[in-house]
A and B are shown apart, each in its own frame.
Chain A
Amino acid sequence: MGKIKMHRTTPSLDMTPMVDLGFLLVTFFMLTATAVPDEPVTVNTPSSASEIKIPETNILLLTISNDGRVFFSMDGKFHRQELLKKVGERYGIQFSEQDAARFGVMSSFGLPIGNLQEFINLPPEKRKEVNQPGIPVDSLNNQLKDWVIFARTTNPQLRIAIKGDGNADYPTVEKVMNTLVDNRINRFNLITNMEQAGTGAAAAEPAH
């Protein structure tokens, strides 16, 4: 009868390849990760069957919250700095170099231009607490128009995107779209969520 020998040494497993792969993946995800810009409002975009992806750069994003406030954001630090100065000039407000530098790294905002300087000078963690009233888009005081016009002059390659909350009232959206069309921006993007193909439109359920 053959004797069964018990292994006394612990079976050692070479984990090096696994660890290698682990680090490779860590590196990959770290490099591809992009910080999510903090937004002043949460927006639930409606879903659509559209499959066009939005480009990542040169985007002017107009966010419309569900209570009809309009927020503005644009990418490109230097473009932002230039934009602030131009818009400030238009409204006769002097923004210092420091203001511009801080504005350059800010995310979206929704304030009348008069309150902007004060907002810029708040420390970043305090900015979140500010209840932003949105950029005025009324026909009498349409500041959004100037932001959009000057944004286009600072960065002519800008693509305009509207990110609206599904429950935003249409008249507000209409005002924003009219502002764009009035300024000869006839082509813009509506940001939506992905929807599985074949399941039908978002509000496929009958009205409730």
Chain B
Amino acid sequence: MAEISQGGGGGSKDGKVRVKKSSTKIDMTPMVDLAFLLLTFFILTTTLNKPQTMELTMPEKEKEGDKPPEVNEKKVVTLILGPQDKIYWYVGITDPKVELTNFSKDGIRKILTSKDKEIPGMIILIKPGKESKYKNLVDILDEMTITSMKRFALVKITTADEDLVKESNL
């Protein structure tokens, strides 16, 4: 193993006093063992992947007297995040047809991409319901990034929306 050797062997001869000739070999094995133990420890405890982050920019709080921007209701797609990872969605605002989908690849992603082609300048309103989880919000925001939707807003759910979901019986 790793050793330091100093001088050669031998001792005194002919009564002459010789300067240290005895070998002073230091056994470094324990030290090297310890070093590798530490190395293993630090390698294993190092977390290489830093947490990711998703940047979210919320609109400025409405000041009093501010009118909400007017949009063409035909361009509005509303997504309501329901319990158990359900997504209720509909196009338009007056008397909409509520449909059910989920977070799978063939679910919301397909709808988003097809609607995006169908409706130019589509505006997505994300309304997380009271029973939805934080995970659902992150997932839907993630879908927005994946499908590169530019115009979406996080909106508070209204009782009208809740009624719509109830009536749809989905």
Contacts and interface: CB of A to CB of B under 8 A. Distances in A.
Contact of A187 (B49, B55, B61): B55
B2 A16 contact: yes
B71 interface: no
Interface in A122-176: 161, 163-171, 173-174
A22 interface: yes
Contacts of A173: 134, 137
B32 interface: yes
Interface residues of B, number: 54
Contact of A164 (B58, B61, B134): B134
A186 to B, nearest CB: 5
Interface string A23-65: 1011001101100100000000110111111101000000010
Interface of B: 1-2, 28, 32, 35-36, 38-39, 42-43, 45-47, 49-61, 81, 84-86, 102-105, 107, 109, 128-139, 141-143, 145-146, 156
B52 A52 contact: yes
A203 B85 contact: yes
A32 B43 CA distance: 10
A194 interface: yes
B38 A26 contact: yes
A64 B134 CA distance: 10
A67 to B, nearest CB: 12
B146 A201 contact: yes
B50 A54 contact: yes
A50 B54 contact: yes
B52 A204 contact: no
Contact of A190 (B43, B53, B104): B53
Given A169-B133, A190-B141, A206 B102 contact: yes
Given A53-B52, A186-B57, A33 B45 contact: yes
The residue in B52, B109, B129 that gathers the most chain A C-beta atoms within 10 A of its C-beta is B52
